[in-house]
Structure 1
């Protein structure tokens, strides 16, 4: 995602409430509050510095953050839960941009313009956070039910349903198909084949325009 959307902030309200509950559960009398932001920063650094993101374990993250592994599991539930929390933190500025009126992401823009802007942000996010994205998407543990995927799919489905495209008749399926075009493993394969980041952005935009082409009048 673009630089103005990369700052780390809290996730949406429902996930924040879950986070607070997990954080509270991780506290014990006589112990300091769980250093959530420190843990997320340590995990992000580990994933950014490795060429084998799936090899980064909870032990590695606990050691880097200076906390116990048991504390991590109490706070996040699992490695995928921790990765989902990282996604939520990085993606929160994008969520905020979609909820305000300013184009091209905001509500004042036409639905197709918003879809194109959303995919440009998603591609940029995947390129900027390649190892983090690969670690979560290739874990094989319920990606389609992961909070960040569910949120992105819901937003995309709603926008597609408001277009003049024939695909508006099946927006949920179309949203899944388009999101498959920006999977981390596919982005990596395209980069390895010689496609540049700009090439990939152009290709994805062309695909979205083709799939959501309005019928002739």
Structure 2
């Protein structure tokens, strides 16, 4: 006997749909390993997985949806860390320390999944405002609000997140030749001036 779904949960996925989803994800991982994220195309992923192209489009919508799916595990661990993990990234540290830890951790996450995050944010109509952006923004708004003062927390959070967008980081690295340490130092300088009044 199958258990009934709990209230508020999405309906259970059919077994064949779950198998197809996993085949598509496995195929996408193989393509990324062989060609990099720039080599991803939903048609090719479907062929590699042995499923219909329509199935791939229904499952992910577009390349952005596929890229976010491939990043899901990293993203879940990151959100668990800043929402409930140990300080300074998680609760228990002063807000200024948590803001800095969050920005540094997000910078590391962007670098760890560089090509996928660039693909995810440049192939969707919503741009960098898609995916987990709203969660990041709300988290920073709350921390900036805890600092007090008259700054506009929503605007300030959006400015800080703009500095960490994959396209910006990609431009800094490829076009400007800025190494990761220089970007991190620059981020701290902006954070100090904009938020921490240093």
TM-score in terms of structure 1 length: 0.74
Cα deviation for residue 184 of structure 1 reads: 1.3
Unaligned runs of 5+ in 1: 1-16
Of the two structures, which has the highest relative contact order with CA contacts closer than 8 Å and spacing of 6 or more?
Answer: 1
1:157/1:175 contact within 8 Å kept? yes
2:180 aligned with 1:197? yes
Other structure's SS at 2:178 match: coil
- Cα 1:179–1:95 change in 2 (3 A) is same
CA–CA distance in structure 1, aligned partners of residues 93 and 75 of structure 2: 20
1:120/1:201 contact within 8 Å kept? yes
Cα deviation for residue 49 of structure 1 reads: 5.0
- RMSD of aligned alpha carbons: 2.7
Q: 1:73 aligns with which of 42, 49, 57?
A: 57
2:121/2:130 contact within 8 Å kept? no
1:46/1:56 contact within 8 Å kept? yes
Cα deviation for residue 102 of structure 1 reads: 1.6
1:48/1:132 contact within 8 Å kept? no
- Larger of the two Rg values belongs to structure: 2
CA–CA distance in structure 1, aligned partners of residues 145 and 189 of structure 2: 19
- Residue equivalent to 1:213: 196
Cα deviation for residue 71 of structure 1 reads: 1.8
Unaligned runs of 5+ in 2: 1-8
- Deviations, residues 156-178 of structure 1 (Å, cap 9, x unaligned): 111111114542xx211111111
- Cα 1:35–1:212 change in 2 (3 A) is same
